[in-house]
Amino acid sequence: MLDARRKRLVYRANYRGFKEADMILGGFAKAHIETMSEEEVTQFEDLLGAKDHDIYDWVSEKTPVPANYDTPLLDRLRKFKPIP
């Protein structure tokens, strides 16, 4: 079940419709999904439910992060540097 969730999340992270979000979220998912704990998978799943532009603004620290998304996983995502 967890493997199926991971595969779904990688797909969702790569095909957001906002190029910058695709690069950041998709690259992060490809690089880290296999090592995420079940809790982190759930946090990533929740994060992907947010709007692309909001996620981008949170990652680039342009706007404050709502408490429910302010997790260690988001901190890891902020530190991730996608390869163009």
> Can you give the residue ranges of every domain in the chain?
2-79
Q: What share of the chain is helix, strand, coil (3-state, %, to 5)?
A: 70, 0, 30
Q: What is the rounded average pLDDT for all residues in the chain?
A: 93
User: Residue 84 pLDDT > 80, yes or no?
Assistant: no
pLDDT of 59 reads 94
pTM of the model: 0.89
User: Residue 35 pLDDT > 70, yes or no?
Assistant: yes
pLDDT of 25 reads 95
Cα 40–Cα 64–Cα 20 angle in degrees, nearest 5: 65
Pair of tokens at residue 35: 């090592």
What is the distance in angstroms between the CA of the first residue and the CA of the last residue of the chain? Answer: 31
User: Residue 81 pLDDT > 90, yes or no?
Assistant: no
Nearest to 18 by CA among 60, 73, 65: 60
pLDDT 10s digits, 42-58 = 999 999 999 999 999 99
Amino acid identity at 14: N
pLDDT 10s digits, 3-18 = 899 999 999 999 988 8
Fold type of domain 2-79: DNA polymerase; domain 1 (1.10.150)
| Distance of alpha carbon 32 from alpha carbon 45, whole angstroms | 13
